[in-house]
Amino acid sequence: MTLLPETLREALRANAIAACAAEQDAVVIDHRPLVKFFNPMGAATWIASELYPDGDTLFGLADLGFGCPEVGCFSLREIAAIHLPFGLRIERDLCFVTRHPLSRWAQAARQCGSLIHAEQLLREAS
């Protein structure tokens, strides 16, 4: 399975272009995350709302499972290169859809201490 199909790449790139254009006008766009990656054997989870022009750098929220989720940039190539036991790899959540912007996810993740628990909190709040 392709970790990030072309349709999602294009949508994430469009968000990055819009954010960059808005930034020049001193406006901040709070996009909704469009993709979620997770470790099927652990707590590491990433959600992303933008893909930078280099085609590798994602902007979003990363939680490596240590209780301190962070907003920032991370590498798609590095995520795709992770090899787990039993031949497993990082996976994309095929059912991930959210109506909440990235800032709300970050707030909930900080409140809960994890992205996994933030997802539950946001689902219950909807």
Which candidate, 117, 104, 114, places its Cα nearest to that of 62? Answer: 114
The one-digit pLDDT tens for each residue of the chain (126 residues) are 689 999 999 999 999 999 999 888 888 899 999 999 999 999 999 999 999 999 999 999 999 999 999 999 999 999 999 999 999 999 999 999 999 999 999 999 999 999 999 999 999 987
C-alpha–C-alpha distance, residues 19 and 82, integer Å: 29
- Global pTM? 0.94
Which candidate, 33, 52, 51, places its Cα nearest to that of 93? Answer: 33
Domain coordinates in residue numbering, the chain:
6-125
Residue 13: φ, ψ to 5° = -65, -45
**Would you mind telling me the total number of residues written for the chain in this entry?**
126
Which candidate, 27, 26, 46, places its Cα nearest to that of 37? Answer: 46
